[in-house]
Amino acid sequence: MAIKTSQAINGFISADPRLTFSESGQARFYARVGINHYEPQQDGSFRKLDPTYHDLIQFGKSAEMSADRYVKGDDIVAQGYTREYTRDVNGEERTDEQFVAKRIAPDPNITDFTIDRRPAAERQVEREAEREVEREEPDRAAQLGSPTPTASRETEAPAMEAVGR
């Protein structure tokens, strides 16, 4: 059997990512991602070129987890595929490209992180307990009469402008 492969990108999140929801409630993670490029030199060294900027999206439960984990400036590796889509820009139809991530992870060559090797069931119990505390906090705030921040449920947002690192 052949080895199954897929596309991947490595880069950095160049602007604050956003989590939005479709009218049907499906989560959508959007991030503007910068990708660094290098040019080989005659002496064997590399010259850094300007980064390019691209749209990265992710859907479903993975999108919600990515929204909790990643912020502007994070170095990432994303596995998925590239797709073209058409949108209206100032009354003119425009075709753009975006990377649809199935998985996103910290770039292990650049980022220090710790791997939680506890059994999955133990980690799940802890996550559920944390979610329960998060659900209770707005109730406590209402009892105290303080304003509670709410998550916005937007429809898909337009692409963000590229922001340098």
Q: What is the pLDDT along the chain (165 residues), one digit of tens a residue?
A: 999 999 999 999 999 999 999 999 999 999 999 999 999 999 999 999 999 999 999 999 999 999 999 999 999 999 999 999 998 989 999 999 999 999 999 999 999 988 889 998 998 888 888 878 877 776 554 555 544 443 433 333 333 333 333
Q: What are phi and psi of 62, to 5 degrees?
A: -60, -35
The pTM (predicted TM-score) of the whole model is 0.71
Contacts of 123 (CB under 8 A, 6+ apart): 116
- The one-letter code for the residue type at 81 is Y
Domains along the chain with CATH numbers: 7-144 (2.40.50.140)
| Contact (CB, 8 A) for 28 and 155 | no
Single out the residue of 107, 103, 85, 106 nearest to residue 94, CA to CA.
85
Distances (CA, A) of 163 to 42, 61, 81, 106, 118: 32, 27, 23, 20, 38
DSSP alpha helices (H): ranges in the chain? 60-69, 120-144
- The string of DSSP letters for 3-15 reads PP--EEEEEEE-S
- The one-letter code for the residue type at 6 is S
Separation of alpha carbons 78 and 16, rounded Å: 17
Q: Would you state the pLDDT for residue 13?
A: 98
Q: Would you state the pLDDT for residue 19?
A: 98
Residues 37-73, buried b or exposed e (16+ Cβ, 10 A)?
eeeeeeeeeeeeeebebbbbbbeeeebbebbeebeee
130: left (phi over 0), alpha (psi -120 to 50) or beta: alpha
Separation of alpha carbons 112 and 106, rounded Å: 8
Q: Would you state the pLDDT for residue 147?
A: 44
